[in-house]
């Protein structure tokens, strides 16, 4: 990944004009910069925004996968707890039964 270069003041002003609704051609002409300069700056900015969007989407995917895994772990613990409770109840019932033969 390359370091982000700082924009020259004229390029920054031209980008601000484009954001305000001016065409790139008019903004470049008014600021005295080459049209290719403004288009390169717009492309870099769009690439940076797309990279941030991809990173955010990946982070959201990882969070949802972690949430799903923790939900499965909770279900497994709950099922094991129920099984343990049922086994305990059966064992207790066996122990509490009266012995056969009247003793």
pLDDT tens across the length of the chain (103 residues): 445 678 899 999 999 999 999 999 999 999 999 999 999 999 998 888 899 999 989 888 888 888 888 888 999 999 999 999 999 999 988 888 877 765 5
62 closest CA partner among 50, 54, 73, 51: 54
For residue 74, give Cα distances in angstroms to 60, 63, 79. Answer: 21, 16, 9
Is the whole model's pTM more than 0.85, yes or no? no
What's the N-to-C CA distance of the chain in angstroms? Answer: 84
pLDDT of residue 7: 84
pLDDT for 61:
87
Continuous segment of H or E residues that includes residue 27: helix 24-31
Q: Which residues are CB-neighbours of 8 under 8 A, at least 6 positions away?
A: 33
């Amino acid at each position: 990944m390359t370091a982000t270069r700082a924009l020259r003041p004229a390029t920054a002003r031209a980008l601000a004009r484009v954001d305000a609704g001016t065409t790139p051609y008019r903004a470049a002409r008014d600021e005295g910069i080459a049209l290719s300069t403004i288009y390169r700056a717009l492309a870099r900015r769009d690439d940076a925004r797309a990279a941030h969007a991809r990173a955010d989407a990946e982070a959201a995917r990882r969070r949802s996968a972690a949430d799903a895994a923790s939900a499965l772990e909770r279900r497994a613990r709950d099922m094991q707890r129920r099984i343990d409770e049922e086994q305990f109840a059966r064992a207790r019932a066996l122990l509490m039964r009266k012995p056969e033969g009247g003793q």
